[in-house]
Amino acid sequence: MPIACTAAILLVVGCRFPDMEPELMLEGPARVTVDQPGPVDGPDVVLDEGTVPDELELESSDPAVARVEGGTVVAESSGEAVITATWQGQSVSWTLAVEPAVTLRFVEPPAAIQVGEQVRMRVTDTAGHRDVDPGALSWSCTEPAVADVKDGGVVTGREEGVTYLTASGLGSQAMLELSVVAPEPELAVEEGVGGDVAATEVGAEEVEQDLPSAPTPEPMPDVPMMPVDYRP
């Protein structure tokens, strides 16, 4: 008799009563991470009997991060969203984390700066298409004698030459070739006689210049006076 009872118990446990509904469940990880936008291969939503339920409804907690299109989850931008699957009053959820790979690049950098000139560099994140705080990056120059860079991306030209500027952070880095050139000379304008103008470099060696003078008018030739007869 004890053996028969045990068999009966196992039979009841292994069978499902006709009025019991299948249970909704996930097949796969409850958290998925992707590094780029596009369709996401998330966990399968199935019934505990192994079948895929019909008329399954999917919903995203943040459509800006991930949207649902035709039963497919599509990653949109960086962030996290909870994807909820609902069927006949039952629901299961999983989390989607969108973490795009970061690529840094300089924004409209100058090809060259002058000795003594200061320029603040701008860096953008090409994955998120947003400016990156320069203070959050590490900065370096290959030739500190040519140019130095401070926290915040402020570069100062020191002497003529070429250096390579690097901004690092957020798991990426950007490099820029930067030339330092001599400052352009200032010009002093002098006005001579007759409105003639000459320009000389300020600070350059003075060179004596002959400014053209106004032309001397030629004398009028002597014209003999003709006698005039006033007789009627």
pTM value surpassing 0.85:
no
Q: In this predicted structure, what is the pLDDT of residue 102? A: 78
Q: In this predicted structure, what is the pLDDT of residue 189? A: 60
Mean pLDDT for back-to-back runs of 10 residues, the chain (232 residues): 42 49 90 91 90 90 94 91 94 92 88 95 76 84 94 94 92 92 77 57 50 63 58 56
Q: In this predicted structure, what is the pLDDT of residue 116? A: 94
Measured distance CA(198)–CA(181) in Å, rounded: 26
Q: In this predicted structure, what is the pLDDT of residue 35? A: 85
Radius of gyration of the CA atoms of the chain, in A: 42
Q: In this predicted structure, what is the pLDDT of residue 5? A: 43
Kindly tell me the sign of the dihedral angle through the C-alpha atoms of 13, 14, 15, 20: positive
Domains of the chain, first to last: 16-98 (2.60.40.1080), 104-181 (2.60.40.1080)
Q: Is 135 exposed, middle or buried (0-12, 13-18, 19+ CB in 10 A)?
A: exposed
Q: In this predicted structure, what is the pLDDT of residue 3? A: 44
